[in-house]
Amino acid sequence: MKTQRWMLPLGMIAVLSFLLLTILGKFLWPGYNPISSYISELIADENPHVHLMRTFMNIYTICFCLFIFSIAVHAFRTYHVSSKIGYTMLFVVAFLSVIGYGSVPISMDFIFSANDIFHLIVTICILLITILAMIFIAVGYLRQEHLNTMGKISLTAGTLFILFNAYHIVAIVTGQNILGLIQRLTFYSFHAFTFSISWIYTFKSNR
């Protein structure tokens, strides 16, 4: 674990970078509505500050990838097989984020382009894999008595992530104009998990 220890705080840095993206994006783009608009629109070509927003997204992606890699390595050395599977799946999510969001920009045209369709498919895959990963991680932690706290954090975050995603589908079907808000609640529940786990691993050496 010592060789990956410097990567452990990167989970917190990733979350802070994501928060800067979502918060500054609103203030720097007066016409952007965070209640009805998706976060992905902040890194769309039409954003007047797109390069700054993509910088925050790139910082988030790189830090998250390195953090999850370090935890996955540690999981394979120490943890239950469920945790190993879960963190491996999260690493796949991080890789998909790099491919889907980093190399294929989106637009805000009403007619979906090929890039936008690819972006949508990647997003669906990421959400489904993340849900499964959170379940595996929670089960793995809960099966190891000294890791119950992290198991409860994972289970709570995973439950919220599933509920908000389910409500997201309901909101789309019923035409509710709060899709941006629901997406933020979904992402923030996952990032609360990321920040908490990063904090625990960084400052609790016995994990």
Domain ranges, ordered by start, for the chain: 2-203
* Range of lowest pLDDT (46-50, 53-57, 82-86, 153-157): 46-50
Looking at residue 181, its amino acid is: L
Report the chain's mean pLDDT, rounded to a whole number: 85
Alpha helices in 45-178 (DSSP H): 50-78, 81-97, 114-142, 148-174
What letters, b where the CB count within 10 A reaches 16 and e where it falls short, cover 20-56? bbbeebeeebeebebeebbbbbbbbeebeebebbbeb
pTM for this one?
0.85
pLDDT tens figures, 128-163: 999 999 999 999 999 886 788 889 999 999 999 999
Phi, psi of 105 (to 5 degrees): -70, 160
Mean pLDDT of 56-65: 90
* Statement: residue 50 has pLDDT above 60: yes
* Statement: residue 51 has pLDDT above 80: yes
Task: Using the Cα atoms of residue 71, residue 74, residue 80 and residue 81 in order, give the sign of their dihedral.
Answer: positive
pLDDT tens figures, 78-126: 888 898 899 999 998 888 877 766 555 555 544 456 666 777 787 788 8
The residue that leads in pLDDT, 96 or 10, is 10
Q: What is the pLDDT of residue 35?
A: 94
Q: What is the pLDDT of residue 105?
A: 55
